[in-house]
Amino acid sequence: MSIDIKAPTFPESVADGTVATWHKQPGEACSADDLIVDIETDKVVLEVVAPADGVIKEIIKNEGDTVLSDEVIALFEEGAAGSAGAAAPAKEAASASSAETTTAGETGDGDKVGPAARKLIEENNLDASQIPATGKGGGITKEDVQNYLKNKPAAPAAAAPAAAAAAAPVNVPAGERTEKRVPMTRLRATIAKRLVEAQQNAAMLTTYNEVNMKPVMDLRSQYKDLFEKTHNGTRLGFMSFFVKAATEALKRFPAVNASIDGNDMVYHGYQDIGVAVSTDRGLMVPVLRDTDSMSLADIESTIRDFGVRGRDGKLGMNDMQGGTFTITNGGVFGSLMSTPILNPPQTAILGMHKIQERPMAVNGEVVVLPMMYLALSYDHRMIDGKEAVQFLVTIKDLLEDPARMLLDI
């Protein structure tokens, strides 16, 4: 029986998507719920799985094609028997024979590498013969490549150009500078567009302050083991304190929790805080809903879930829609100070940074304390400088005396 394979149903905020990767080819055997194609939208990558056991009869939309919501992208033959590894499309064969020959092809293992795995190998200049294969018939799967990348030891900076030179079919003169042109993914292009629009359309300013993290660090050190035991392995981090402090500050300064819609100012009677998560596909901002009613354990476990699903490409549309305020943490990468860019239509974003010990004057004495710079970027069309500064000072005061958050004072 023939079945139409359709693109997912996109929400109203997403007009269309792009076919990113076909994981199965025509004639290749599929089991029910096998991943067959990735559809990339402006916000997330959606997965389409096989509706039953069978084979793909025909691919209607190729990689790179634009698709609409519920549009037919392939025909599927239920119950039909297929080959364990169908031939790749002609365009892939042509690509393999071009100057940018994949490492898999050079090792003679190209026929055992699936399209998704081949793409990852090519993008990361990997040697397919070094990747442990777990697929059927000794084939290399996308998961094999991802696992190899996670466990691969860091190479020196010059390793990538050297590997590319060694793989070239001709002798490359010493000191040759190589370049590789890769088109932007749809998600990366959308991120770039939104960031530029935010700077062009908003009157964006940034105010800074610093916070003594010792009280939070002492509290965390004192209770982290008991916290983890009580909450089924959920670890007590710093982000939950910042989310709680931001929630309280947003209630005191409604303009910071508002958004601009044309000539209207929209004040939200709830706090939905987005937490920026860095993934291989780009920066994503899943949203914590109703943070005022969430406990520290709820916040930590949800953020951890966001991180895991973000790395695995499992974040959905609903996870990232909405949001009244955003927190981004460049400190995990070592940033000491930065200027975060607004996440429209929100009017403010809080930037966390690296905790650094610094000599501070306390009651006339010099004391070494773990300090963090905070940055609040805000839209001056909506928020006055006085409100922005007071908002940031409120967060500072709550973090330097965390008992106030627990006592609601």
Q: What is the pLDDT of residue 112?
A: 64
pLDDT for residue 275 is more than 90: yes
Q: What is the pLDDT of residue 87?
A: 42
Q: What is the pLDDT of residue 98?
A: 39
pLDDT for residue 161 is more than 60: no
pLDDT classification of 148: cutoffs 50, 70, 90? confident
Q: What is the pLDDT of residue 309?
A: 86
Mean pLDDT of the chain: 81
* pLDDT (mean) for 254-273: 92
Nearest to 74, CA basis, from 22, 10, 17: 22
Q: What is the pLDDT of residue 368?
A: 96
Rg over alpha carbons for the chain, rounded to the nearest Å, is 25
Q: What is the pLDDT of residue 108?
A: 43
pLDDT classification of 104: cutoffs 50, 70, 90? very low
Give the pLDDT confidence of 66-101 residue by residue, as tens digits.
888 888 889 888 876 655 444 444 444 334 433 333
pLDDT for residue 280 is more than 80: no
Give the pLDDT confidence of 176-187 residue by residue, as tens digits.
677 888 777 777
Catalytic residues: 380, 384
pLDDT for residue 222 is more than 80: yes
pLDDT classification of 337: cutoffs 50, 70, 90? very high
pLDDT classification of 125: cutoffs 50, 70, 90? confident
Compare 293 and 409 and report the one with higher pLDDT. Answer: 293
pLDDT classification of 290: cutoffs 50, 70, 90? very high
Q: What is the pLDDT of residue 156?
A: 41
Q: Residues 280, 311: contact at Cβ < 8 Å?
A: yes
Q: List alpha helices for 127-264, DSSP H.
A: 142-151, 159-167, 186-201, 214-230, 239-252
Sequence-ordered list of residues with C-beta below 8 angstroms from that of 135, at least 6 positions apart, any chain: 112, 114, 141, 144
pLDDT for residue 250 is more than 90: yes
pLDDT for residue 124 is more than 80: no
pLDDT for residue 43 is more than 90: no
pLDDT classification of 385: cutoffs 50, 70, 90? very high
Q: Residues 35, 51: contact at Cβ < 8 Å?
A: no
The answer to whether the Cα torsion of 253, 257, 261, 267 is positive or negative is negative
Compare 90 and 287 and report the one with higher pLDDT. Answer: 287
Q: What is the pLDDT of residue 101?
A: 36
Burial (CB count within 10 angstroms: exposed 0-12, middle 13-18, buried 19+), residue 303: buried
pLDDT for residue 30 is more than 90: no
Paired strand residues for 278? 283
Q: What is the pLDDT of residue 238?
A: 92
Nearest to 215, CA basis, from 393, 375, 404: 404
Nearest to 20, CA basis, from 36, 31, 34, 4: 36
Rank 57-61, 206-210, 224-228 by mean pLDDT and report only the highest.
Answer: 206-210
Compare 29 and 279 and report the one with higher pLDDT. Answer: 29
Give the pLDDT confidence of 346-384 residue by residue, as tens digits.
999 999 999 999 999 999 999 999 999 999 999 999 999
pLDDT classification of 103: cutoffs 50, 70, 90? very low
Q: Residues 9, 41: contact at Cβ < 8 Å?
A: no
Q: What is the pLDDT of residue 13?
A: 61
Beta strand segments in 247-344, E:
259-261, 264-266, 273-275, 277-279, 282-284, 287-288, 325-329
